[in-house]
Amino acid sequence: MFHYASPEWYNEHVLPTRDRFWPPEDKTNRPPTNPTDLHAELARLRAERLARRAKHSPDSEPSSDR
């Protein structure tokens, strides 16, 4: 069954079920859209990666003096 250009049908059948399938728009991932935000996001990701790398590197583990 197809319903073309029927706002009443859309409001009655699609809108109520849409929220069960898709997350709210404010909780979705929004990638940066301008160069300034892009550079800030890349710097944040780089800092997180370096922090993880420093945390898991063998140099940061305490050495046992035997």
* pLDDT the model gives residue 65: 54
Got the DSSP string for the chain?
----S-HHHIIIIIHHHHHHHS--GGGS-----SHHHHHHHHHHHHHHHHHHHHHHSGGGSPPP--
Q: Read off the pLDDT band of 54 (50, 70, 90).
A: very high
Query: Per-domain residue ranges for the chain?
Result: 31-57
Residue 30, phi then psi, degrees to nearest 5: -120, 105
Of the candidate ranges 22-26, 27-31, 58-62, the one whose mean pLDDT is the lowest: 58-62
pTM, entire model: 0.51
